[in-house]
Structure 1
Amino acid sequence: MKKIILLFYIVLGSLVFGYDFPMKDPYVATVVGTSKMMTVGIKEKIPLEVHRMKTIKTRDIPESLKYQEEYKFSLALQKKKAPLIFILSGTGSSATSIKTKYFERIFYTAGYHVVGISSIMNSNSVVSLSYDKMPGNLMADGFDLYRAVKNISSYVETRAEVENYNLMGYSLGGTHSAVLGFIDDKEKYFNFNKIFIVNPAVNLYDSAKLLDVMFDKLTNGNIEVLLRRVDELVDELSENKERLDIKNPEKAFTHLNIHRDDLKLGIGFIFRLTSVDINFLSDLLNKRNIYSDGKVSKYEDMTKYFKKINFANFEDYAQNIAYPYYKELYGERFTVKKVKEMSDLKSIDSYLRSAKNIYVVTNKDELILTNKNLNYLKRTFKDKLKIYPWGGHCGNMFYQENVDYMLEKMKEK
């Protein structure tokens, strides 16, 4: 037994010390690595097109949101028969976000037709795709996205020959990839060849709370703290831009006097903007009358509404918007705890344990997972899970070793 344990630590040590991703601080990796291609041989330009499709034909949409009436997606098609991969974007991101475009370039270079899918928490999706207009319920969101990819696949098949269908997603898109796999396991429409999941959330509420607490702790509920720090950083950048070394982000941040708390603040702020969007749109579209009266005119000044929202977080959304909505739908016995359970991958646990076509990657220093969440991934996916020693949240997903591993798993027979 002692020899087995020793062998385990030797192998583990070789894996850890053999991993050369350069950004070992999880916050630096999350901020810099998520928008930096660190992979050679990837095409700079692919024939990427942006399309819009009406997915719900009868919907009362306020005049101020009419421009979001059609669902936006992106695609690049090979000139010959090829496998197709749907790429599900991260929390709040659109199909044209830089991260989704990077994955499209990677998979197109590898010979795939590629389709970029906007996050269900993107404002365009809430307006044009979500039936409940109340994102966060994994199964409801999954059926919305599944309907979208079915419609898109019908369109693609009129223009290209498809060998087989595949799926991948990062961050929240990774979580939803697992749900779409579950739905298709029942529907048998695509029979996905491979599903690759990058840095998923296990429970949306848990992940949101980690980010919300990080942001609130640093601002102490006073957004002026953020605005003041942004002003200081802009001044620093103006004065030091000639001295910046973009190849060494830690050194660049030192020159700018940017500290770890500044990075945390930025990460939390980006997520908070998504929370604000979800709070406002779900309230407006479902006429909950918490932040608006449901009658926002086309050219109305939105300032008063956002003052009322006051940077509401995801917990505010769960408590004030989602919970009352589902309580009316399911009855008095429905609880806030049920709202949180709706956002948990454990709802499809048996499928995840048995699915042979799913591969998952995450990082040991992942920002959006609790220890309990990480242990769940280990127990559930076992040898189908790869944990990198560092990389933060999605910070290493465009690093050469990570990309090589992803493409290798996708092409395995």
Structure 2
Amino acid sequence: MIRALVRASWVALARDRTALALSFVLPIVFYSIFALVFGGDQRARMPRVNVIVVDEDGSPVARRLLDALAAEPSLRLHTAPSSREGEPPAAPFDRVSAEAAVRAGKVPIALIVPEGFGAHRPDFTGAGQEATPLLLLADSANPIAPQVVKGMVQKVSFTVLSDLYLGAGVEALDLWGVDFTPTQRERLAELTEYLATREGTGGEATGSGGPGGGEMMIPVTIRDLTGEEKERPLVTFYASGLGVMFLLFSAAGAGGALIEERESGTLDRLLSTRLTMRQLLTGKLLFLFSMGFVQISLMFLWGQLVYGVDLFGHLPGFLLMAGCTALVTSAFGLVLAALCRTRKQLVAVSNLVILSISALGGSMFPRFLMPEGLQKASLLAFNSWALEGFLDVFWRGQPLTAALPEAAVLLAWSALFFAVALRVARKWESV
């Protein structure tokens, strides 16, 4: 009996060839997306980190360090905002504008070289003046960027500032009673001069620490601009991505009611009245929109009560983004329902499409992990705009106007999806 039931289920699936094909296409597509992001040569595929640089010191030491960082293939340094063709060059970044850019999510990190950085010389005796640390202003939505920049600073310091470390080492040995011969001192002076005048390439460096083996050669202070004021920052960050992905599945499932009405003949009876297809889909859209808006509101309200998500502190921005997100996912659900003939097809198609765009749009893993080409392609996934809007509101604490571009894109996608659903569904309308 069990064998017959299994056979009957396979036969039923085989009758719907579209659902059958998509059932086996889904794992291949889903695996391919993850392979594009995490597979292959990671050193070649790792996206470059955009870094704003503010040189408040202006010393030769600071310039040597920054020139070496600019030559690193893993970094892309910006000293001033980009200007459009024909416009005068923008003023260079200062500490205030760099912090504002990081808070707004334009770049994940800014490197500040404070005044007095170049006046310090390495000291291996422990009796010298404490070094002025570099300052990294970070957006912890991208936790990799601070570690990459911090590591690159230590790496290039071994090559472009090696003359300073050599001189400090000789001074320490003198203090500890090591007696160099005149020839040795002459050779050390020649080596120091060579290291000071050679062009820094930021090449491979060995070693991982300072005199004690674990300390950094150049001290670096990291300041988290976006997550420092949040009690549970990860909960706030992932509430946005999970909320958008949940609405996609919810709208696709609820949109399946259109297929059931078509199969039961209810749709034909409705269209035999004065009701037009546009009116029918508008009613369905408003129902899905209201349901999605209530669902995401309950999700964030629960996050406020239990997990500390600051919903009421960002209520205007939430209402804007929740409304636009509920609308675009509802229209998208209508497109899926209009394109599919059966419930099985809808399940297969919605799983394939929603999981794919959720992965591409950043709902399942951060977009900064993707190769640069895939990051640009992810802008075609409408959920990436919804996610960015929620991050502007909840994570970066930006004003309502900061989320208006994302809201406008979502409204445009909503209009496009509704037009496509209406065009596809016209074939059901009675003449």
Which structure is higher in helix share? 2
Which structure is higher in strand share? 1
Give the shorter-chain TM-score range: under 0.3
Higher RCO (Cα < 8 Å, 6 or more apart):
1
